[in-house]
Amino acid sequence: MSESLFIRACRKEPIERTPLWMMRQAGRYLPEYRAVRAKSDFLTMCRTPELAAEVTLQPIRRFGFDAAVIFSDIMIPLEPLGFGVSFGERGPSIAHPLRQASDVPTGIPDGFEEQVAFVYRSIELVRQELPEDVPVLGFAGAPFTLASYLIEGGGSKSYAETKTFFYHQPEAAHRLLGLLADAVGRHLVAQVNAGAGAVQLFDSWAGVLSEQEYRVWALPYVQRAMRVVADAQVPRILFTLNAAHLYSALAEVEAEALGIDWRTPMGQAFDLLGDRFALQGNLDPTVLLGTPDQVSAEVRRVLSGVGGRRGHIMNLGHGVLPPTPIANVETLVRAVADFKGEG
């Protein structure tokens, strides 16, 4: 595993070519994924290791990506904590949103990991099938993002319920965030034990916070989750969507790599954050809806921005979109392989 390009890039070691994977690469843009999905609902796929392993492997077989992100969902660990999650057309929703201090679980229940053991079994199956130099990437949702889902009950534009809870029940809010940090930390450790070679925390919603609020409600719990998994000795990646205003706080994160969304040019991100971290990103996922020439040009722009600096993992700036044509992903793969540094 130490020979993996992806892991070496996370450790900022010199590498012979830039590794590539795509967030949400096991997904609806792939016809072979849609064929599996046509016969099973989303949660069944998550909970059935053979199906989860199959769709995790599909993009590796087709494109030869340098990491295989396990097919799962950030909401999965919420069920053993006592929250019923369902997945509909408009994303996940929580049957009974958390609105009272008394709704905060008192602790992580016994058998927490057993209740989501299907994730670990999926990782074991994927690990058996993959070339040794392609790591499995485990993941979890960051505490603020998970807490927001629990409190809002689903997606939100204003986070009014979350902020109301935080402002009026700060003690309960901090208890909830601490519990989530410990739970996702343990979930990441168990994924490493099952064979994950690196782990990523997704903080999809922390970008709604000002830096001041981020330092109260998000950063301390990212740190706590990251510390739980530190002993596992695999690269830890934090992806925060929409975080251009949070970089001075992100500079303090205890992780080996940060994911950068498409809003910040990679050169600028390396200038600000590249000393301590490997950086992952950041082709705008909507570029993959453009023409092949646009895809090639934008890939070259991202790689030129990196300018040959160590510790770059090529990725999108957010998950690949369902209408993405396969041919554009092929163009992406080729453009990354063909790039001759201009840095």
Give the pair of three-digit tokens for residue 60: 């590796």
Amino acid residing at 339 = F
- Active-site residue among 11, 37, 309, 310? 37
Beta-strand ranges (E) seen in 166-311 are 196-203, 236-240, 257-259, 278-283
Nearer to a second copy, 220 or 292 (CB): 292
163 touches a second copy (CB under 8 A): yes
* Number of residues in contact with a second copy under rule CB under 8 A: 31
How many CB atoms within 10 Å of residue 103? Answer: 17
- Least separation, in Å, of the C-beta of 122 and a second copy? 27
Using CB under 8 A as the binding rule, the residues of this chain from 223 to 252 that contact a second copy are 242, 244-245
Beta-strand ranges (E) seen in the chain are 68-69, 85-88, 91-94, 136-141, 196-203, 236-240, 257-259, 278-283, 312-316
- How many CA atoms lie less than 13 Å away from 285 in the CB half-sphere? 18
Peptide bond between residue 282 and the one before it cis (omega within 30 degrees of 0): yes
**CA separation, residue 220 to residues 143, 215, 341 (Å):** 10, 7, 38
263, 276, 300, 309: residue in contact with a second copy (rule CB under 8 A):
263
Is 6 in contact with 313 (CB distance < 8 Å)? yes
287, 303, 316, 335: residue in contact with a second copy (rule CB under 8 A):
287
289 touches a second copy (CB under 8 A): yes
Give the pair of three-digit tokens for residue 190: 């168990």
d(CA 292, CA 111) in angstroms, rounded, equals 49
For residue 327, the SS3 value is helix
Which of these segments, 14-22, 95-103, 129-137, 207-215, binds a second copy (CB under 8 A)?
207-215
d(CA 8, CA 75) in angstroms, rounded, equals 30
Which of these segments, 52-60, 141-149, 158-166, 188-196, binds a second copy (CB under 8 A)?
158-166
- Least separation, in Å, of the C-beta of 148 and a second copy? 12
Q: Is 73 a catalytic residue?
A: yes
Nearer to a second copy, 11 or 301 (CB): 301
Convert residues 167-206 into a mask of x (bound to a second copy by CB under 8 A) and - (unbound).
Answer: xx--------------------------------------
79, 129, 133, 213: residue in contact with a second copy (rule CB under 8 A):
213
Q: Is 90 a catalytic residue?
A: no
Dihedral (CA of 90, 287, 64, 195) sign: negative
80 touches a second copy (CB under 8 A): no
286 touches a second copy (CB under 8 A): yes
| Residues β-bridged to residue 312 | 279
Using CB under 8 A as the binding rule, the residues of this chain from 128 to 147 that contact a second copy are none
- Active-site residue among 8, 47, 66, 73? 73
Active-site positions read 24, 28, 37, 73, 149
Binding site for a second copy (CB under 8 A): 158-160, 163-164, 167-168, 207, 209-213, 242, 244-245, 262-265, 284-287, 289-291, 294, 318, 321, 323
